[in-house]
Amino acid sequence: MLRIERYGAFFVMAYIQGESRSQTSLFPVSLEELIPEDHLVRVIDTYVAKLDLV
């Protein structure tokens, strides 16, 4: 820990340790990884993307 004095007060700063690069995530990174390739929502997404909503 690093102790710094400023303005008549002491502040304590702690080192924040990052995560290991080999650690896996609990949740998928994106929805694309979560939804299977043959899921119906992909058809709906393609249809809605082609609509002229402007």
Local confidence band at 13 (pLDDT 50, 70, 90 cut-offs): low
Domain count, the chain: 1
**Nearest by Cα to 17 from 36, 37, 1:** 1
Q: Please check whether residue 13 lies inside any domain of the structure.
A: no
Let me know if residue 10 belongs to a domain.
Answer: no
Answer yes or no: are the C-beta atoms of 16 and 7 closer than 8 Å: no
* 1 close to 13: Cβ distance less than 8 angstroms: yes
Please say if the pLDDT value at position 28 is more than 90: no
Q: How many angstroms from the chain centroid is the CA of residue 32?
A: 14
Q: Is 4 helix (H, G, I), strand (E, B) or coil?
A: strand
Q: Does residue 46 lie within any of the structural domains?
A: yes
pTM above 0.75, yes or no: no
The percentage of residues in the chain with a pLDDT greater than 90, rounded to a whole number, is 30
Q: How far apart are CA 39 and CA 29, in angstroms?
A: 18
Instruction: Assess if residue 11 is contained within a domain.
Output: no
Domain that holds residue 54: 28-54
Q: Is the pLDDT of residue 43 over 80?
A: yes
